[in-house]
A and B are shown apart, each in its own frame.
Chain A
Amino acid sequence: EPEVTQTPSHQVTQMGQEVILRCVPISNHLYFYWYRQILGQKVEFLVSFYNNEISEKSEIFDDQFSVERPDGSNFTLKIRSTKLEDSAMYFCASSKGQGNTGELFFGEGSRLTVL
C-alpha cells in the first residue's frame, strides 16, 4: 500500500543551525502538507502546498520556514536558523485532492531536537 515516507526519523541539531526535513508523498497525490506536534501538545498546521506553490500557511510558518518540491518526488521543509522551541515532531502529509478526495495521509514523522 502506498505510503508517505519521511527522513530522517530523528535529527538532533544545535540552535541556529539549518535543518531540512524530507518527505516523499504518495505518488499520485497533488496536495502536500507539513504539520508539527510539540511533545504533549496538539497537532499544528504549518503549510499546504499545491501546484508548486504555498496555498495556505499558519502564523507559525514565519520567515524561518520554507518548503520546496525540488523534483517530482520530494517535498522538503527547511528551517533556516533553528530555535529551542522548534523541537517537535514534524509530520508530512499528502492528499489526492480536496473535498471528497481530501483525505490526508501522514508519514511517520521526523523528530527534531534542538539543543
Chain B
Amino acid sequence: QKEVEQNSGPLSVPEGAIASLNCTYSDRGSQSFFWYRQYSGKSPELIMSIYSNGDKEDGRFTAQLNKASQYVSLLIRDSQPSDSATYLCLGLGNQFYFGTGTSLTVIP
C-alpha cells in the first residue's frame, strides 16, 4: 500500500514561533519530496523540494529528509499569520500520492 502519513493536526503556533510539520512514507522507491501549501479553496502551491538526505533551507523554510527513516519534515521559522494553511507533502518515485495534510494556524 502506497502511503504518505503526516503528523496529525490541526497545529497552532503563536506568531514568531517555529512550526514543525512531519511526513513519513512507505514507498522506498520515492526519490523526490515536495512540500506544498494549500489555502482554503485554492490549489496546492509548491514551497520546497528536497532530493538528498539532510537539510535544505529557503528563507524561513527548512526541509529535512532522512531516507533511511523514510521521514521528511518542514520547519517554518518566525511563523506569520499568512502561513496559516494546510501543508501537504508529496513523494515522487513510484508514487504520486499526497499526505493527508496538516492544518497550521498561526495565532497573532
Indicate the member of B31, B92, B101 with the most A CB atoms within 10 Å.
B92
B98 x A42 contact (CB < 8 A): yes
A100 x B51 contact (CB < 8 A): yes
Alpha-carbon separation in the docked complex, A1 to B77 (Å):
28
Question: How many interface contacts (CB-CB < 8 Å) are there between A and B?
Answer: 47
**Residues of chain A contacted by B46 (CB below 8 angstroms):** 103-105
**Residues of chain A contacted by B42 (CB below 8 angstroms):** 108-109
Known contacts A99-B32, A100-B32, A104-B34; is-contact A42 B100 (Cβ 8 Å): yes
How big is the A interface, by class? 20 to 34
Known contacts A43-B38, A43-B98, A48-B96; is-contact A104 B90 (Cβ 8 Å): yes
**Number of interface residues, chain B, beta carbon within 8 A:** 20
Chain B 40-54 interface 0/1 with A at a Cβ cutoff of 8 Å (1 = within): 001111100101000
Using a CB–CB cutoff of 8 Å, the interface residues on chain B facing chain A are 31-32, 34, 38, 42-46, 49, 51, 88, 90, 92, 96-101
Using a CB–CB cutoff of 8 Å, the interface residues on chain A facing chain B are 33, 35, 42-45, 48, 56, 58, 91, 98-100, 102-109
